[in-house]
A and B are shown apart, each in its own frame.
Chain A
C-alpha cells in the first residue's frame, strides 16, 4: 500500500495507528523542509529512524491533516506526486525495525 492509497478515503484513528508511513531519507528531508516552512512549530511530524536506513511515522497523523488538524498546515503543502511513492506497512512490520535499546545500553 502507498500513502496515496491510504488517503484516498477517510481513515479512522483505530485503523491508522496500526499502520506506519515509511519514508526514504530523501522523502523525510522533503517532509522536514515543508514542516519547517509551513508547519506549526508546537506540533511537529517527525519521522524516527529505522535500522534499515529508512524512517517512519505512525499513520494516525493523517487524522490531524484535515481542516483544523494539528498537522494540517504542513500536510497541505506536501507535493501530491510524493504520495504514490511513500510506502505504508503494518506497524508491527515497522516496529520490528526500530532500534529499541534497553535503558541500560544508552
Chain B
C-alpha cells in the first residue's frame, strides 16, 4: 500500500528549479512569463527578474510604474509581452524573429509598434521612457501617447515634447545601451538620456488618456514616426526617480545577459 505522502514528500522527487525567494509580484510575473513561454525560465533569469522587482520596491519606484514590459529574458516574444504591471500591450506586426532574449525587441521603422494603455495620467505627474539597447535613432520617435507628448531621436541625445510643440533637447550622448526617459512633475521636466540627465521648466497641464505607442507615437490613434531601435524595456507611470530606475534596468540587462 502506498503511503498517503507518496508523490508529495518522496525523497526521490527533486524540484527541477528552486524558485527565487521572494516577492509575490515577482513570483506572479515569472509564472505568467513561463506560462506564455510554455516552459520554465532558467534560475538566473528568474532571479534577475526578482531582483529587479524587489529592487524597484526598495527604491520606492515600483508603485509608480503603471504599464511596462521587460522586452528581454523571456524565451519567446509572447513571454516578453507579459506585462510587468498593468494590462497587456497589443502587438502590431512584431514577429518572433524580431525578438532576441538577450538584447530585446527590434522595430523596423515602418510597420511594427506596441500599444499600451496606462489609464489616465496627469501630465504633470507622469514619467515614461525606454531602454535603448542598440540602433539609436536620429529622427523618428521612441514612445508617446500624443504628438505633444513624445520622446524622439536626435542627431545626438534625444528630445522630448513635454506637452508643448517645442522640443526640449535631452543631452548629447550617443552611447547605448541606456535609458531615455522623462519625469514630468508639476512645473519641472526631469530627463535622463544615455548616461546624462538634466531638467527644464514645463508648463503643460491636463491628463493623458490615450494609449502610449512604443516604437513610435500615437497621433489620433495612428502610429506615426516609427523607429527601428532595439529596446529592452519600457515604462509608463507616475512620478519616479529616473536615476534609480536607470540603475535597476542596467543591472537587470546585465544579469539577464549573464544568465542566458
A17 contacts the other chain (CB 8 A): yes
The complex places the Cα of A23 from the Cα of B232 at a distance, in Å, of: 32
Q: With A48-B111, A98-B110, A106-B224 in contact, do A58 and B93 touch (Cβ < 8 Å)?
A: yes
Q: Are A13 and B97 in contact (CB under 8 A)?
A: yes
Instruction: Among B81, B93, B110, B219, point to the contact of A106 (Cβ < 8 A).
Output: B219
A82 contacts the other chain (CB 8 A): no
| Interface size range of chain B in the complex | 20 to 34
The complex places the Cα of A57 from the Cα of B108 at a distance, in Å, of: 11
Residues of chain A contacted by B145 (CB below 8 angstroms): none
Q: Are A42 and B81 in contact (CB under 8 A)?
A: yes
8 Å CB interface, B76-120 against A: 77-78, 81, 88-98, 108-112
Instruction: Among A42, A60, A71, A94, point to the contact of B90 (Cβ < 8 A).
Output: A42
On chain A, the number of residues with a Cβ less than 8 Å from chain B's Cβ atoms is 30
Q: Are B225 and A103 in contact (CB under 8 A)?
A: yes
Instruction: Among B89, B91, B217, B219, point to the contact of A70 (Cβ < 8 A).
Output: B91
Looking at the assembled complex, report how far the CB atom of B165 sits from the nearest CB atom of chain A, in whole angstroms.
9
Q: Are A46 and B93 in contact (CB under 8 A)?
A: yes
The complex places the Cα of A41 from the Cα of B91 at a distance, in Å, of: 9
Q: Write the chain A residue with the least CB distance to B137.
A: A103
Given contacts A43-B91, A103-B141, 8 further A-B pairs with CB under 8 A are A42-B90, A58-B111, A60-B95, A61-B93, A63-B97, A64-B96, A100-B225, A103-B161
B residues at A contact (CB < 8 Å): 77-78, 81, 88-98, 108-112, 139-141, 147, 150, 152-153, 159, 161, 167, 217, 219, 223-225
Show 27 residue pairs from A and B whose CB-CB distance is below 8 angstroms, ordered by the A residue: A13-B96, A14-B97, A17-B97, A42-B88, A43-B94, A44-B92, A45-B92, A45-B93, A48-B110, A48-B111, A56-B111, A57-B111, A58-B108, A58-B112, A60-B95, A61-B93, A70-B78, A70-B95, A91-B110, A94-B110, A102-B225, A103-B140, A103-B150, A103-B161, A104-B167, A106-B217, A106-B225
